[in-house]
Structure 1
Amino acid sequence: MKNKPLLALTLLSVALNSCTDHFPEEPQTPVSFTEVASIDLGETAASEISAYDPASRRLFTVNNESTAKVEVTDLSAFPTVSKLQSIDISSLGGVANSVAVSDGKLAIALEAANKQANGSVIVMNTTTLATIKQITVGALPDMVTFSPDGKYIVTANEGEPSADYTVDPDGSVSIIDVTDNYSVKTLSFGAFASTYNQLATNGFRVYGPGASFAQDIEPEYVAISSDSKKAFVTLQENNGIAELDLTSGTILKLHPLGTRDISKLVNAMDASDKDSKVALATWPVKSFYLPDAIAPFSVNGSEYLITANEGDAREYTAFDEQKRVGALVLDATAFPDAVTLQKPENLGRLRVTSTRGDIDNDGDYDVLYGFGGRGFSIFSAASGQLVFDSGSMLEEEAIKAGIYDDDRSDDKGVEPEGVTIGTINNKPVAFIALERVDAIAVYDVSTPTAPKFLQMLKTGDAPEGVLFIAPEKSPNGKGLLVTSNEGDGTVKFYQI
């Protein structure tokens, strides 16, 4: 087959804060965000995740560049923002990975000094900053969140292996019952090992060298249902979502996510950083979604989940699954035009996994599996069924806005990492952080099967955390969007 670009898009210059070129003719949600404040947390800061306390009007932001600490920003005179004394937690463990706030309590997810040992959650008073409790959880708690009713604190414990892959702790999820003196139940995934063959058929991955099923699972991010009864946890490297019952403290299901078919025009992508152009095209590749952040929302009484399909590969000293297509031996029947296909300007530069694709075990690759959906997906929370996938939409909008980075074409593209939902004019609006183009894509998702693009909003360098503060909780009574930008240490604030 010939792999000519089926959809070539020319870079266009547009004003990022203008609505004119981005809105549908009759926008579902008339919204245009503009930056109204910003704070730099230091030259070496890495601002990752933020949480806001409406009672104290303080923003708490993880910053681990020099030492483990949480930055505290005063928003009481917003849009004037000022930095307060940091919370130094370096003596309590290793790196702080995430923060969450509920009812005057700040929860901090802290990995152990030995990354493969059990980590902890520190709960503090948001006003006095006094420590209320430190609770042991699983290895490498990467994300922490409160349930909407404040009863539970839930952590996704990634359980990453050591660089030499000799120590690989179980991935797990910890459920902390705030109302029961912070009692904790940590759940691992070994009971699902017998179902792996069926899960794998639908795109689930377990592939770490020498790892058991429980060790290989790597929880990444948590979303909790509006009734505080269920948690949905992305298993990023495994390409799945776990569904948990918080009341009983059990794992109910694992939902494999399948792959995105890049041979279809709706999923077209730029696969080369060496083709001297930006052009989305179809290719004989299937790409694992590998979601990072996940967020819940509801429409007309139905519950949904939205994921940011970043893509992530295992890359360690002793094991790196990534290979470029140009370095592989391709099956001559599956890829009759392999010589052309493997040129750098075509598919040769694309990173794919070496762990899957040799279907007949004869030493060559019959299928190519890439990393990341390069977009976002929406699922029914009740059934786990996919109701919408953005395909190439995010990259098309980045190209139109003149911010697409062709240097990342061979490696996960715009790289959607964070996502949150805000309610504006009684409609759910999604904010998707695009790490590699330094922007937030804004979508009206009031029709979950057909989201509407609203705006591409420029941020600081490499936005990771994205937070929406509702008007009734905002320091100035207006809806407030906050981005935590890992690359330049800034936190930026946007309002309509």
Structure 2
Amino acid sequence: MQFLAYRLSALALAIAAAGAHADTFNRVASFPVSHNLTAENPLQETSAEIITATADGQILAYSDSPRGGLGFIDIRQPDQPKPAGFVSLSGEPTSVSALGNQVVAGVNTSASYVEPSGFLVLVSPQSQEVLSRCDLGGQPDSVAVSKDQRFVAVAIENERDEDLNDGQIPQLPAGSLIIVPVKQGMLDCAGLKRVDLTGLSTIAPTDPEPEFVDFNGLGEVVVTLQENNHLVIVDAVSGTVINHFSAGSVDLEKIDTRKDGALIFTESQQGVAREPDAVRWLDDDRFVIANEGDYQGGARGFSIFHKDGTLQFESGAAFEHEVIRAGHYPDKRSGKKGAEPEGLEVARFGDQTYIFVLSERGSVIGVYRDTGAAPEFMQLLPSGIAPESAVAIPERGLLISANEKDLIEDGGPRAHVMLFSLTQGEAQYPQLVSDNDTADTPIGWGALSGLTADPKTPGILYAVNDSYYKMQPRIFRIDANQHPARITATTDITRDGKVAKKLDLEGIAADGKGGFWLASEGNAKKDVPHALHHVNADGEITRTIALPESLLQHQTRFGAEGIALAGDTLWVAIQRPWGDDPEHHTKLLAYNLTSEAWSAVHYPLEQTTEGWVGLSELELHDDHLYVIERDNRIGEQASIKRLYKVALSALEPKPLGETLPVVSKTLVRDLIPDLQSLHGYVTDKVEGFAMDAQGNGFLVTDNDGVDDSSGETLWLKLGQL
């Protein structure tokens, strides 16, 4: 195959340079916040949005907007987090921050956008009682507590209605900053100060819309005015504005701005407003901002400012490039905000200060070391779906992320809190990364759906993506002879010299001559045919084999999911039963390339009480066909993720239309322990399996293109089977 050579990615270089001696963060536990639900209503929607930890580092508190209160998690044993209760607050909690071993939360009770209201509340996680409450006279967003525990700062956003006037600002009433003193551990509502932030920005001076607040050690508060693209420094004691300045703009290169089913990072944007969301002080003089954008900007990265207004560092597209290389770029969510950095945490572990940058749409956390100048990228952490905030507990070597997305209504993953520990050793994730291409842009990838091995070279494998990237069907060359494995090159699938369309590639098999056989799953509703395709070394389709009409009259959407070449016969795994199959049986189709005759056997599927069970891969090794059989369940509901084998000598296919023999299968491996190895939730889509030239098994999962998914791709070397 004529693959282009690509240089080693910056991510792979960083990990290789770090080596086993470096300190790295690795996930130790995932806690679905649905564990805090009552037995009477286990399917209620829940969320973990903003998270904090009590001063003793034993209890986590998170804001849960759908349930209207605060949830608590016992992390005395970080690798075994336990539910610790819930407090209803009769409103929408927007933020929570620790005040010693108590927590303060902002609660939104607004009747409408033009009638904003809310309150600040002090809660005891231990007794789960409300200790005090202050009316705020507006809709609170972010809440922060000063280092000396003397003040609570609240950003009163009075957010805009995005459906009014196309979301244009100003939209009154104006927001402000509120400073609430703390006396003898209680909120001093009578001492509340309201800091006027109008007249500072030139974008909408009458409507500041403050978003996020944080204290430095001097009792100074930095406030982001996101839609106004402005930053304000306030003295908490006096309530006066010390300084304010524009967050400025960024010129972006090597980005993707189109939601088009293809990952191409050759575009640019000029003069993009940063529009920061989260902000954290690095020390008493410098702070870092996450440039999410929410109005007209979104610079896709993070920046460091001195409080005098001097820009000291700009990441540009560099953070997003790390997200891309790890397979977490959200094409359907890209638009102008890309991977959408939104949340931040800053903490000092030992003698190192770390910056944690949360990509909401990419569902990852970038870990950087503060150098006083340009931060050093260290690693990327998998964080569940839509990380909104994080809290560090340096004394215990812990980082915790809160992930707000709950997909219970769609049968998807629940919202999770994930715990990471700083230890010596190599980073466990990512397990697969990509190099840069000849244009020096990262190779974008995701939704890997089929796997095959190079017939001659150990550790070299090839994968295909599915129809999620409908405008970019590709074969990916993977070098698995190192950790993480690397995507070193790609080949586009073409027809008549153009991008091949109407494909849903789910299986791939090397033909032994430099080309490949591909299985495309059909979908009659989208006019995608069930078919097998042969491509040459350049990715050009040279032959197409349609499934016979006698079979297609019984078709469903769940078609070919794996393909294997045994001599002159192509074997094809059909995912689920079609109309002519007995219950709990699907077909292994056989197509003879010489006689062009179709035949088949029936494969018996395991049974489950919920969801469905089907096949997702087919691999030939020695004298057996290996089959991945799985259910479509996720997380704690997953029960069937298995690797079976069927002896070739036992396969005696019959012509279609006749009574098909039922094959006998042998369990090779229960894959659920492998899918739990990184302490995340178990994914439903175990999609690819192959055995290389030395007989080592490799497994890859499909990350659904980071769409309603955590975006994690597990690349697991199973060894000799």
TM-score scaled by length of structure 1: 0.73
In structure 2, C-alpha distance between the alignment counterparts of 1:426 and 1:376, rounded to whole Å: 23
Answering whether residue 383 of structure 2 is matched by residue 459 of structure 1, we say: yes
Q: For residue 277 of structure 1, what is the aligned residue in structure 2? A: 263
- Aligned partners of 1:159, 1:373: CA distance in 2, in Å? 24
CA drift at 1:21: 4.2
Counterpart of 2:71 in structure 1 is 71
The answer on whether the counterparts of 1:429 and 1:446 sit within 8 Å (CA) in structure 2 is no
Amino acid at match of 1:465: S
Q: Is the 8 A contact 2:177 2:197 kept in 1?
A: no
> 2 CA distance for matches of 1:56 and 1:124?
16
C-alpha distance in structure 1 between counterparts of 2:26 and 2:32, whole Å: 18
Q: 2:107 maps to which residue?
A: 110
Could you tell me how far 1:20 is from its partner in structure 2? 5.8
Q: Whose Rg is larger? A: 2
Pick aligned residue for 1:224 from 209, 215, 222 = 215
Q: What's the counterpart of residue 322 of structure 1?
A: none
Is contact 2:62–2:96 with CA below 8 Å preserved after alignment? Answer: yes
Residue 470 of structure 1: CA displacement? 1.5
Contact 1:278–1:406, Cα closer than 8 Å, also in 2: no
- Kept after mapping to 1: 8 A contact 2:251/2:316: no
Aligned pairs for 1:43-442 (under 5 A) are: 44-55=45-56, 57-65=58-66, 67-90=67-90, 94-115=91-112, 116-162=115-161, 164=164, 168-179=172-183, 181-182=188-189, 183-190=191-198, 192=199, 200=202, 205-206=203-204, 213-214=205-206, 216-228=207-219, 230-262=220-252, 267-274=253-260, 276-283=262-269, 285-298=270-283, 303-313=285-295, 353=296, 371-381=297-307, 383-442=308-367
* 158-167 vs 109-118, which moves further: 158-167
Distance 1:12 1:411, change over 3 A: farther
Which of 425, 429, 444 aligns to 2:369? It is 444
Structure 1 pair 458/175, CA: closer, same or farther in 2 (3 Å)? same
Match of 1:337 in 2: none
What's the CA shift for 1:253?
A: 2.8
CA distance in 2 between partners of 1:72 and 1:106 (Å)? 11
* Cα deviation 1:211-252 (Å, max 9, x = unaligned): xx33x1110001111122x10000001001111011111223
CA distance in 1, matches of 2:8, 2:139: 42
**Cα distance change, pair 432–10 in 1 and its aligned pair in 2 (3 A):** farther
Aligned partner (choices 380, 386, 398) of residue 480 of structure 1:
398
- TM-superposed CA distance for 1:13, in Å, is 10
Unmatched 5+ stretches in structure 2: 35-42, 407-414, 423-721
Q: Give the conservation status (yes or no) of the 8 Å contact 2:277–2:289.
A: yes
**Cα distance, 1:168 vs. partner?**
2.4
Q: Secondary structure at the residue paired with 1:248? A: coil
CA contact (8 A) 2:231 2:247 kept: yes
Distance (whole Å) between structure 1 residues aligned to residue 254 and residue 81 of structure 2 = 42
CA-CA distance at 1:446 after TM superposition = 2.2
1:362 matched to which residue of 2?
Answer: none
% identical equivalent positions: 28
Q: Residues 12 and 399 of structure 1 are in contact (CA less than 8 Å); yes or no, is this contact kept in structure 2?
A: no
Q: Distance in 2 between matches of 1:287 and 1:373?
A: 6
Q: Read off the aligned partner of 1:187 and give its amino acid letter.
A: V
**Letter matched to residue 273 of structure 1:** K
Counterpart-to-counterpart distance in 1, 2:305 and 2:385: 29
Letter in 2 for 1:463: P
| Partner Cα distance (1:295, 1:138) in 2 | 26
Contact 1:138–1:186, Cα closer than 8 Å, also in 2 = no
Write the distance in 1 (CA, Å) between the matches of 2:7 and 2:388.
Answer: 25
Q: Which residue identity does 2:195 align to in structure 1?
A: L
Provide the C-alpha distance between the structure 2 equivalents of 1:407 and 1:161, rounded to a whole number of angstroms. Answer: 25
Deviation, 1:279, is 1.3
Kept after mapping to 2: 8 A contact 1:422/1:429: yes
CA 1:463/1:56 → structure 2, altered by over 3 Å: closer, same or farther?
A: closer
Q: How many residues align?
A: 390
| CA positional deviation for 1:141 | 0.5
Q: Contact 2:75 / 2:81 at 8 angstroms: preserved in 1?
A: yes
Cα-Cα RMSD: 2.6
Query: 2: distance between equivalents of 1:152 and 1:111?
Result: 20
Question: Per-residue deviation at 1:12?
Answer: 9.5
Residue 30 (structure 2) aligned to one of 25, 33, 38: 38
Give 2:344's aligned amino acid: V
Amino acid in structure 2 at the alignment position of 1:312: D
Distance apart, 1:22 and its partner CA: 3.2
Structure 1, 411-420 or 137-146: larger mean CA deviation = 137-146
Q: Structure 1, residues 420-457: CA drift from partner, whole Å, max 9, x if none?
A: 1121231111000001111000001123x211110011
In 2 relative to 1, CA 123–234 (structure 1 residues): closer, same or farther, beyond 3 Å?
same
Shift of 1:304: 1.0
C-alpha distance in 1, partners of 2:242/2:136? 20
- Judged with a 3 Å threshold, the aligned counterparts in structure 2 of structure 1 residues 418 and 294 are, in CA distance, closer, same or farther, namely same
Aligned partner of 1:309: which letter? N
Secondary structure of the structure 1 residue equivalent to 2:98: strand
Shift of 1:104: 2.4
Displacement after TM superposition at 1:160 (Å): 1.6
Query: Residue 405 and residue 11 in structure 1: after superposition, are their counterparts in 2 closer, same or farther (change >3 A)?
Result: farther
Q: Is the 8 A contact 1:309 1:376 kept in 2?
A: yes
Alpha carbons of 1:395 and 1:55: their partners in 2 closer, same or farther (altered >3 Å)? closer
Residue type of the partner of 1:114? A
23 and 56 in structure 1: CA distance in 2 versus 1, 3 angstrom threshold: closer
Asked whether the equivalents of residues 78 and 419 of structure 2 are also in contact (C-alpha less than 8 Å), the reply is no
Deviations 1:14-36 (A, max 9, x none): 9xxxx864347369x93321111
**TM-superposition CA deviations, 1:154-187 (whole Å, max 9, x none):** 0011112455479722111100011283421112
Partner of residue 517, structure 2: none
The alignment's TM-score, normalised by the length of structure 2, stands at 0.51
One-letter code of the match for 2:303?
S
Structure 1: gaps (5+ residues): 1-8, 194-198, 207-212, 314-352, 354-370, 472-477
